[in-house]
Amino acid sequence: MTVSETRPAADEAPLRVAVIVGSVREGRQGPAVTDWFLRTAEGHGLDLDVIDVAEVDLPLVMPGWGGSAGPEAAAALARVSPRVERADAFVIVTPEYNHSFPAALKNFIDWHHPQWQAKPVGFVSYGGLGGGLRAVEQLRLVFAELHATTVRDSVSLHGPWSGLGQDGEPLDATVCAGAAKGMLGQLAWWGRALRTARAEHPYQG
């Protein structure tokens, strides 16, 4: 029997990727950027699940160590946490606010912990001349603390706020499409490798 014949069937299952929309601001461009990314990700063999932070009502006040969430927070977590847990990988869609990422996105991240561990994270950022890159660099530090692996390449949409034209496509469409292809390739490699590793050797972070 060959090595390939003994490999678990889960290796061949579509990679489950949670795409997290991180902005909650009125008039936000996050959903439009996410729609472009979903179109770009078609054909990559991924099972995509969009989680919009604006639709997850998590309070800012968190329970103390060893405490439990209040009823409203518990209800919100019951709806969204299993989706984070099921994901093999993540893509964070984020703007840049004041040289950083949105507070609501950080709150969502902080309400979870083991769900991020030993999984890869990719980024799609947007906004202004910097294209959200400073938000991404700070998020890399956050996910490192949570034992997640961020992929090297990211997608950055530069230009008048969202970096999208009136047609919903990036102003630099060719560059952005190429960046998305590279990021998705890395995310898929790490996603499958870490899924196999977690199955064979549960992570002990």
Query: How many residues can be counted in the chain?
Result: 205
Q: For the chain, how far is it from start to end, CA to CA, in angstroms? A: 34
Q: Where are the domains of the chain?
A: 12-59+73-200
pLDDT at 3: 44
**How far, in Å, CA of 166 to CA of 8, rounded?**
46
CA 91, CA 121: separation in Å to the nearest integer? 6
Q: Which pLDDT band holds residue 128 (cuts at 50, 70, 90)?
A: confident
pLDDT digits (tens, 9 = 90+) for 18-66: 999 999 999 999 999 999 999 999 999 999 999 999 999 999 998 888 7
User: Within the chain, what is the greatest distance between any pair of CA atoms?
Assistant: 58
What 8-state DSSP symbol labels residue 116? G
The reported pLDDT for the residue numbered 1 is 44
- The pLDDT assigned to 4 comes to 46
**Best CA proximity match to 107, nearest among 58, 153, 52:** 58
Is residue 71 scored above 80 in pLDDT? yes
- Percent above pLDDT 70 for the chain: 94
Helices (H), the chain: 3-6, 30-41, 71-86, 103-110, 133-145, 173-200
Q: Is the pLDDT of residue 106 over 60?
A: yes
Task: Report CA-CA distances (Å) from 191 to 14, 28, 71, 165.
Answer: 10, 29, 33, 31
The answer to whether the CB of 20 falls within 8 A of the CB of 48 is no
For domain 12-59+73-200, which CATH number applies: 1.25.40.20, 3.40.50.360, 1.10.1040.10, 3.40.50.2300? 3.40.50.360
Q: What is the DSSP string of 168-181?
A: SSBTTHHHHHHHHH
pLDDT at 5 over 70: no
Q: Which residue has the tokens 């950027």?
A: 33
Distance CA 146, CA 144 (A): 5
Read off the pLDDT of each residue in 180-196 and give the average, rounded to a whole number.
98
